[in-house]
């Protein structure tokens, strides 16, 4: 009996102890699994999960046919944590110098900074980064990234603009369309192992990164190439300070090409070029006195207001006339009476000034305002200049006669092209546009930018009369026979203006220009060539700009497959010429 009681007590003690232990464990588990569940889960998750920020790609910029103008080059940023270097720092520096070409002095300076991590080099090509990674250097880290890349180098570079170090557009289209081109950031959460490597399971994206939208321009890359190649020839021949070429389709306001000198290569932004403002978008910001190319606008206004007709006679005073005690001369020629169309053909200052006086200030002001001078063209660029066009109340006695011949007024190349688009398009001036469409990353979502008329600037009859007069400029007896294109009727006007520097017109500094459209009756494009301070081989618009117009127009018409409107040589002769070419 005695033994039995001892056994029972012992068993009770053992089971009691086990029960108490089990109860304690259960209570602890209850506390861990239920009471502190959320808190502990978060703690654990923080240990074995991590997240990374993912960025989409910046949208591409393409021409109207989808030729890439600005894209993204995949590359890697190389970062270093000097505190984690196992090898001698000099050895690491030697390897980095050899593989990445970063100067040892610069690396030493960076590594001595009081920072945990420093940038060794940004935008390293993937192959070079992989080569460096093969050294397996502790403390060297690689971050996948993209660098903006312009595959056509300097082509259209000033208008395209470039990005700052944070990937934001700072000029040109890159700045204009920055919000559209910008990608959005995404966040991916994943589990990691002890070494921090991503585990395959349970990978999730909290927010999906979104690529920026692709922007298609109205620019046509082959035409842009033609324009820039001819611009290079012009610059080589005349050595100007600056030169601009703008081509637009008058029927829908689409800008087809913009050439500028000086320009730059956005892939290699050389400090010298950047310091001297070679990246500036001068067609938007630079105003110039248009000179004689303004005469067509002024006289078109006179025709529109029925002040004159093309056949009316104007006394051109044998090339010398005093108005408001200031002499006005017709440079290079002395004419007596000229018909209105001859005033344009011979580019008479006196004839145009007299027609303007007949119009009166109010009508002239209305005309120039209607053609868009003194206002931005509406392309949307923030830094677009408006030129200088005084309000009517500030006009003096000379304003009317001088503004009509393009003196005392500053216009931008784009404003002038816009105005001539109005002349070429039978009096309807279309809104200039450079963005054709925006393609969003979601498949099939495309915003089309519609062409729209901006204003009716002339009656169609007045526009037709002006075009007829302008056609005589490039024919026998006109000032710009060099601008003629065989087989086509060219309507255009030369301009040569002295530059206004420090309050006076400087005799040695000129702006030579030519603007015209072709074929005259149904223009494929309006083309402006403005050359700032040509220093060699002449300075007249007819000598500097007109030949370039002819060459560009001929090549562009060929590219656009615009059939000739006039048959100057028999067709069989043309064919024979064509087939006989090497």
Binding site for other proteins (CB under 8 A): 67-68, 71-74, 125-127, 130, 144, 149, 151-153, 155, 197-201, 221-222, 225-226, 228-229, 487, 555, 557-564, 574, 578, 581-582
CB of residue 221 to other proteins, shortest distance in Å: 6
Angle (CA) 486-489-494 rounded to 5° is 95
Taking the least distance from each CB to other proteins, the nearer of 121 and 510 is 121
Taking the least distance from each CB to other proteins, the nearer of 68 and 273 is 68
Taking the least distance from each CB to other proteins, the nearer of 38 and 136 is 136
Q: What's the rounded Cα separation, in Å, for the pair 162 and 158?
A: 9
Taking the least distance from each CB to other proteins, the nearer of 144 and 461 is 144
Give one DSSP letter per residue of 484-519, joined into a string: --TTS--EEEEEEEEEEETTEEEEEEEEEEEEEEES
| 356 close to 348: Cβ distance less than 8 angstroms | no
CB of residue 130 to other proteins, shortest distance in Å: 8
CB of residue 153 to other proteins, shortest distance in Å: 8
List all residues 6 or more positions away from 158 whose beta carbon is below 8 Å from its beta carbon: 172, 258, 260, 263, 264, 279, 280, 281, 282, 283
CB of residue 488 to other proteins, shortest distance in Å: 9
Both tokens of 327, joined, read 């002499």
Place of tokens 């990937």: 167
Place of tokens 């002001």: 365
Taking the least distance from each CB to other proteins, the nearer of 225 and 292 is 225
Taking the least distance from each CB to other proteins, the nearer of 156 and 371 is 156
CB of residue 252 to other proteins, shortest distance in Å: 17
Q: What's the rounded Cα separation, in Å, for the pair 321 and 326?
A: 8
Taking the least distance from each CB to other proteins, the nearer of 201 and 394 is 201
List all residues 6 or more positions away from 561 whose beta carbon is below 8 Å from its beta carbon: none
CB of residue 108 to other proteins, shortest distance in Å: 31
- Kindly report the length of the chain: 582
Q: What's the rounded Cα separation, in Å, for the pair 256 and 525?
A: 8
* Direct distance between the N- and C-terminal alpha carbons of the chain, in angstroms, rounded to an integer: 129
Taking the least distance from each CB to other proteins, the nearer of 230 and 384 is 230
Q: What's the rounded Cα separation, in Å, for the pair 35 and 33?
A: 6
CB of residue 577 to other proteins, shortest distance in Å: 9
CB of residue 487 to other proteins, shortest distance in Å: 7
Q: What's the rounded Cα separation, in Å, for the pair 323 and 311?
A: 24
Taking the least distance from each CB to other proteins, the nearer of 144 and 164 is 144
CB of residue 68 to other proteins, shortest distance in Å: 4
Maximum CA pair distance of the chain?
154
List all residues 6 or more positions away from 479 whose beta carbon is below 8 Å from its beta carbon: 345, 346, 347, 473, 494, 541, 542
């Amino acid at each position: 009996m005695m033994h039995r009681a001892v056994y029972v007590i012992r068993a009770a003690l053992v089971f009691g102890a086990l029960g108490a232990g089990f109860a304690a464990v259960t209570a602890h588990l209850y506390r861990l699994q239920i009471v502190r569940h959320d808190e502990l889960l978060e703690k654990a998750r923080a240990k074995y999960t991590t997240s990374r920020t993912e960025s989409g790609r910046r949208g591409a910029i393409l021409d109207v046919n989808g030729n890439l103008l600005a894209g993204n080059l995949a590359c890697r940023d190389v970062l270093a944590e000097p505190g984690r270097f196992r090898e001698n720092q000099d050895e690491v520096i030697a390897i980095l110098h050899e593989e990445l070409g970063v100067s040892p002095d610069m690396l030493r300076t960076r590594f001595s900074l009081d920072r945990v991590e420093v940038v060794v080099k940004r935008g390293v090509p993937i192959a070079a980064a992989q080569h460096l990674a093969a050294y397996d250097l502790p403390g060297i880290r690689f971050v996948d990234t993209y660098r903006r890349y312009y595959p056509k180098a300097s082509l259209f570079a000033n208008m395209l603009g470039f990005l700052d170090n944070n990937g934001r557009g700072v000029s040109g289209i890159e700045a204009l369309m920055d919000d559209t081109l910008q990608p959005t950031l995404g966040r991916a959460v994943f589990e990691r192992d002890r070494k921090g490597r991503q585990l395959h399971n349970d990978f999730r994206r909290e927010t999906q990164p979104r690529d920026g939208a692709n922007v298609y321009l109205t620019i046509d890359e082959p035409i842009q190439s033609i324009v820039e190649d001819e611009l290079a020839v012009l610059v080589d021949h005349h050595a100007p300070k600056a030169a601009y070429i703008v081509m637009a389709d008058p029927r829908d306001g689409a800008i087809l090409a913009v050439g500028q000198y000086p320009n730059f290569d956005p892939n290699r932004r050389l400090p010298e070029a950047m310091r001297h403002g070679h990246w500036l978008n001068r067609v938007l910001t630079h105003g110039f006195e248009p000179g004689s190319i303004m005469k067509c606008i002024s006289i078109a206004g006179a025709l529109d207001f029925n002040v004159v007709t093309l056949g009316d006679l104007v006394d051109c005073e044998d090339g010398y006339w005093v108005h408001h005690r200031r002499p006005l001369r017709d440079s290079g020629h002395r004419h007596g009476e000229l018909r209105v169309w001859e005033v344009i053909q011979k580019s008479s200052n006196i004839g145009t000034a007299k027609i303007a006086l007949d119009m009166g200030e109010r009508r002239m002001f209305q005309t120039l305002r209607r053609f868009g001078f003194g206002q931005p063209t509406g392309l949307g660029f923030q830094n677009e200049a408006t030129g200088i066009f005084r309000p009517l109340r500030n006009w003096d006695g000379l304003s009317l006669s001088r503004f009509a011949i393009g003196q005392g007024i500053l216009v931008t190349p784009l404003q002038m092209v816009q105005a001539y688009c109005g002349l070429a398009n039978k009096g309807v001036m279309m809104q200039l546009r450079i963005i054709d469409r925006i393609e969003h990353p979601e498949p099939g979502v495309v915003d089309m930018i519609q062409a729209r008329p901006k204003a009716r600037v002339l009656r169609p009859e007045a526009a037709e009369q002006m075009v007829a007069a302008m056609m005589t400029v490039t024919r026998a007896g006109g000032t710009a026979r060099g601008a003629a294109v065989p087989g086509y009727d060219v309507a255009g006007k030369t301009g040569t203006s002295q530059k206004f520097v420090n309050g006076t017109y400087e005799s040695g500094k000129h702006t030579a220009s030519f603007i015209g459209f072709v074929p005259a009756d149904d223009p494929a494009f309006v083309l402006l060539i403005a050359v700032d301070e040509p220093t060699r081989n002449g300075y007249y618009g007819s000598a500097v700009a007109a030949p370039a117009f002819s060459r560009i127009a001929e090549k562009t018409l060929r590219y656009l497959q615009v059939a000739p409107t006039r048959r100057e040589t028999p067709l069989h002769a043309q064919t024979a010429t064509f087939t006989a070419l090497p």
